[in-house]
Amino acid sequence: MFSLGILVYRRGSRILRTRSHVAMTLQNGLVISANGCSDSAANGKKLRWDLTPAQIQEKTDKLIQKVRQVYDTIGAVDVGKVSVENTVKPLADVKLHYASSRHILDFPQFVHPCKDVRLASTEADKRLADFDVELSMREDVFQRLVSLQEKKVNGLSHETERFVERLIKLGKRNGLHLSKAVQEEIESISKTISELSIDFSSNINEENTFLLFTEEELGGMAESYVNSLDRLEDGRFKVTLAYPHYFPLMKRCHVPETRRKMEEAFHSRCKEENTPILERLIELRARKANMLGFETHADYVLEINMAKNSRTVANFLDEVYEKLKLLGKKERKFILSLKQKECKKRGLDFDGQIHAWDMPYYMNQVEKVKFSVDKDKLIEYFPLEVVKEGLLGIYQDLLGLTFCQVKDAPAWHESVTLYSALDSTTGDEVGQFYLDLHPRQGKYGHAACFGLLPGCQGPDGTRRIPVAAMVANFTKPSCSFPSLLQHHEVETFFHEFGHVMHELCSQTQYAEFCGTLVETDFVEVPSQMLENWVWEREPLHRMSGHYRDGSPIPDNLLDKLIASRVANTGLMNLRQVVLSKVDQSLHTKSQADTAQEFAKHCKDILGIPATPGTNMTASFSHLAGGYDGQYYGYFWSEVYSMDIFFSRFKKEGIMNPKVGKEYRKVILETGGSRDGADMLKTFLGREPHSDAFFHCKGLTENGDRCH
């Protein structure tokens, strides 16, 4: 399995302002004086991360009670007297309060070091999810919004009209225009779906399987990797299924049996617990969609996306598959030849097949053989601290921002840091972000951006300062080595930080549209576009330096790395087609054997069988994390993100601050207050097209390899 960055969105507590003095020097950015961010700790230093389980429960009770009271008041307004002042404004204000008060309740489940707190947070999330369903089923509030819309009030802002239209649309998508009996059943189903989704994710977060291997069984692994492992008294090494352990081993260990054991364990995570949960979710989602008049759950969720329906998605994925399948076949043939040579070299039996545990290893060999990329050498030039400072400097210059670290800011773990982002022209605070970059027991196991406070207008008309957290699992530093990143991890860092910037730069009127609250098949566009910087010479120089002496990456090594972007293009992207089609297949059915569906698509599309006895979908967090029926969005978004990069930044300068600020204004600040298609057309000056998408895959429009 390839490392996939995802977006998980959570909202949190209201902003309280205090004063604090901080300082940080960015190697590639500006030097901030101690007084340069005097107010920058205002939000972060007031966010509480020390709540006990009992306090989490108490605050959850109070929040629900307060929000319910406001909804009751709105629902009691005389239908004939509804107005913006007695309906829209109090509804917007309470939505902001709710979004700004739950971060300390539902976010700790993903990051807190104490299991009791994580469990309490998970239970709070379940209660809040149930309450979300309750709020979404408030027919009394819905009817007052409908009445207001029918009045055709003059002088409303575009965003206010969009706000009312969206809430009415969401109400109809919950059946509020249908009979009471139907509404009650939909509410019951929705609550069950929420609870099962939380259980699914919690099981993955708490998963702690590890395997034990001798030094010989870890043959081929770098010294820095082996030194980072815990060693038992009998001499064996403890290897977990966390990303910093799993992916390097799968790419470098030349012992097939070690890779087989790891691959089997990795794709069996939570199999017993989550398989029945997922298959129940599929049934419930289909049932709800049918009750609301949709043929499938995929059609239901896609109605409010850019794609609109499952047929459009199916055609899109089929088109991508047709472009890639010949290249995938050629790549499998080459990998099989590499395996045959490897088996002969090491005295192993050659079975003439490519197994799932062969894929990462031989794809890594392809990069060495075809592009002469030495990843063991390359990793030495990407120490985390150097990458981080370079990345922050690039984002500062590109978007017209200044970052500074908030000293002594409370956080959920000692390794977490808080930063403030200022507008480099006005000096105004734009937002704040936490960086939580290393793995821990019980921590969310992937890489993600969590929105904690929304950036929008408050009740008094002033902008609320947004706060976000980037959570990742990069290798911890050891006694012998600092934290060193693979190039794909640098890419992940750039991607997730792009989501953080989407959150912080938001300038919307309503919390409903702030930051990443856009169409699901548009939400990855900003971050995917920014991934391109890790394949360009100037940014790579800024984000690198040898961990021993800071020396730059040699030009020949850099040239090989950049050229290797098209390595394994066919198989890597066919893997994404598999995941997208599995998601669509599961969510265009009323019931499914999830393991069988995954195995079928692996064989039919990728041409490589899934490992018998495993079920990758049981740990496919997207399926319970808001991407159900929408995983295709990674590909869909990439069409637009590549068009943006090649049409504007590559043409006008990748570090051109004028283009960067226009991008910030048109794409990032707008949030979901406009349709994604409209934002794209404004920034591009035309309708988007797919030429750049296939170019970046190393393909021409007819599917031939670019030379």
Q: Which helix (H) or strand (E) holds 31?
A: strand 31-32
Give the number of other CB atoms < 10 A from CB of residue 607.
15
Which DSSP letter does residue 484 get?
B
The β-bridge partners of 210 are 240
| Residues assigned a catalytic role | 496
Tallying the residues shown for the chain, one arrives at 707
- β-bridge pairing 210-213 and 230-231: unpaired
Instruction: For residues 291 and 286, give the distance between their C-alpha atoms in angstroms, rounded to a whole number.
Output: 9
Name every residue whose Cβ is closer than 8 Å to that of residue 514 and which is 6 or more positions away in sequence: 454, 455, 456, 466, 503, 506, 508, 671, 672
Name every residue whose Cβ is closer than 8 Å to that of residue 369 and which is 6 or more positions away in sequence: 338
Selection from 682, 684, 678, 677 nearest residue 646 by Cα: 684
The β-bridge partners of 469 are 434, 450
Instruction: For residues 554 and 557, give the distance between their C-alpha atoms in angstroms, rounded to a whole number.
Output: 5
Instruction: For residues 78 and 389, give the distance between their C-alpha atoms in angstroms, rounded to a whole number.
Output: 57
Q: Which residue has the tokens 């790549």?
A: 331
Q: Which residue has the tokens 């991407």?
A: 627
Phi–psi pair at 419, nearest 5 degrees: -125, 155
Q: Which residue has the tokens 């199916």?
A: 314
Cα 102 to the center of its chain, rounded Å: 20
Q: Is 426 helix (H, G, I), strand (E, B) or coil?
A: coil
Start-end of H helices in 208-270: 223-227, 243-252, 256-266
Instruction: For residues 56 and 379, give the distance between their C-alpha atoms in angstroms, rounded to a whole number.
Output: 42
Instruction: For residues 619 and 207, give the distance between their C-alpha atoms in angstroms, rounded to a whole number.
Output: 10
